[in-house]
Amino acid sequence: MSGSEWRRVWTVVWKDTLTERRTKAAFNAMAFFAGMVLLIFAFALGPDTPGIGPMGQTLLQYVSPGLLWVAIMLTAVLALGRSFQIELENGALEGLRLYPGERRSIGIGKILSNVLTLAAMELLVVPIGAVLYNLDLWSKLPALAGVLFLATIGLAAVGTFYAALTVNLRAREVMLPLLLFPVMVPVILGAVKATNLILNGSLMQDELGTWVRLLIVFDVVFVTVCTLTFEYVLEE
């Protein structure tokens, strides 16, 4: 990738970030949606139900890695769908297609801007989850941030790909999750397992390494595949 291509990537990222900063449409919806999902888990499981295991946790604390990731996953689908819906207004998608240079720079730009959006959302979901479920995250923050980072790249890559494919459909609100969730399974598994090892102690380094490797493999495979095929994705 040449310097001019990176400049094109940056332009797409800048455009999306600027649009989002001015409208705040996606972010507001996401924040409240994610908060609500986290609350609903507490309603469903009961705030004081005792958990399993020797550490005297509540059930919410015990299953919190899974809950956090389900909340992130559900909210991410909203955000990813938005990232191409904004292009539908005023024929902006046409403009994007006319953008000079290789199509893959648009793809990479969109993936990066989705990484930023998802990261902003996670910066809300994780603290809200920590407060609501009474989790002690401070000491585990660096490892957790690493897992969040790796999983976010994977989610953004596949999410951008499927959002771009389904944006023109009548039934996109149904189709995006239906196509996206099965493909997201490895990321969710890896992220939940790694988060669980980090949060619920007993740091078995080997096992954590396995899940981190899975996340890295997923990221590499899907960033590559989704970038290389983006030319076909954006075809008229």
What is the crossing angle of helices 141-166 and 205-228, to 10°? 30
Closest CB to other proteins among residues 137, 221: 221
The residue (of 103 and 128) whose beta carbon lies closer to other proteins is: 103
Q: Which is nearer to other proteins, 25 or 225 (CB)?
A: 225
CB of 179 to other proteins, least distance (A): 5
Closest distance to other proteins from the beta carbon of 226 (Å): 8
Q: In this structure, are residues 80 and 160 in contact, taking their beta carbons and an 8 Å threshold?
A: yes
CB of 155 to other proteins, least distance (A): 14
CA angle, residues 141, 31, 94, in degrees to nearest 5: 110
Q: Which residues contact 53 (CB under 8 A, 6 or more apart)?
A: 62, 200
> For residue 159, with 0-12 CB atoms within 10 Å meaning exposed, 13-18 middle and 19 or more buried, which class applies?
buried
Residues that bind other proteins (CB under 8 A): 158, 161-162, 165-166, 168-171, 175, 178-179, 181-183, 185-186, 189-190, 193, 210-211, 214, 217-218, 221-222, 225-226, 229, 232-233, 235
Closest to other proteins by CB, 148 or 233 = 233
Q: Which residues contact 75 (CB under 8 A, 6 or more apart)?
A: 30, 33, 34, 37, 121, 125
Min dist CB 114 to other proteins, Å, is 16
Task: State the minimum distance, in angstroms, from the CB of residue 189 to other proteins.
Answer: 5
